[in-house]
Structure 1
Amino acid sequence: MARIIGLTGGIASGKSTVTSYLREKEYPVIDADQVVHDLQAPGGELYRVLVDHFGKEILTKEGELDRLALGQRIFSDPSERDWSNRVQGRLIREALAEVRDRQAAQSDLFFMDIPLLIEQHYEEWFESVWLVAVSTETQLKRLMERNHLSEQQAQERIASQMPLDEKRAHADLVLDNNDNLAALYAQLDAALKQLERR
């Protein structure tokens, strides 16, 4: 039986830094965002479902999904948001389960990076859940710098997610990323050592 660790965090909490480090250490990491991206690419299963439901207005001139137009359609109407959560949620879960099972056939231990792991109730898939966490101040500052956002825009994005403090209650391990990279890597090394001992 493969051992699978779930990895999650909030926007600008440093999850990609953690996944890069894990890959450097030669641990396989499944990136849920990449799986979703593939499903939403022209010809992908989600692409077809979304175009059937919303029509061609959600496409760019090149025939790609116009994420801005799609986001506006979904977020401006609660019934569309429910539809999206239900239908996209199901297709994404099925695709991730398939990728997980393929990886489990090849690896004894691997990670799955799922941004909405807790919100979408994926916890039962994992031996343990690791959360990359930062303080609200750090999160705000990093998000403004990274995405060139105003303070208000950054606050809106953070407010649209489950607060990191709430996520802590669901995590088996919290990686504190308020300090520098060396401090984060030291926590990761210690956690990986413990994993290997089990």
Structure 2
Amino acid sequence: MTDPVPLTGRQANRLITVLRHGRDLDVAATELGIDLRAVWARAQTDTRLAIALAGRDPDVLGERGRTLRADYLRLLALGLSPGRAELILGISGAGAWRGDDPTFAAACDAVSATSPPGAASRVMRQRAKVRHHGSMARLPSGGCPDGRGEGLGHDFAVVAGVPKFSGAGSRTRVDGDPPGVDRHGLRGRRAGSAAHSPQAPAGGGTLTDG
């Protein structure tokens, strides 16, 4: 079965108009020469069409608030916090919605309860707990308590179940590499520091200034 021709904006507006006047969807689609599969596909991203398919006028004033509430619940279902959902939608009245409508408040709580936070949120909370106990100031530059410099990238890898890696950035070692050499052929700190350390002169003499 071939995919239907996508619905254009003009076709969607014409369909909304006839639906708004009470016309049956199947009859309207036939009269306009529209494939119903194209209607379903368009309604995934066209909020006005989705409202018209629900049997309501998408252009009345009350539908704007209803659409915002639906989008707010969708963002909560994706795991975003209430505050961030408000920032994305450019609103600040979600708290009032909850206070005025116990059913909506219950829906928000139910959606949030089924949306566990992502790995990043868990990692941030763990690091904030370490900072709260005053340990962060004593961590090395990489931010890892054991001093290996793995930092936040390692935390994400552990939470996501990725095999542990060593070192910072993209440097990794695998079995069989010479000591002090990472997977990309870069020398480790010990080898690198030796290249810049002063060398004893031949014959067992000592170094002197000047």
TM-score, structure 2 as length reference: 0.20
Bigger radius of gyration among the two: 2
Work out which structure has the larger RCO, using CA pairs closer than 8 Å and 6 or more positions apart in sequence. Answer: 1
Which structure has greater strand proportion?
1
TM-score, structure 1 as length reference: 0.21
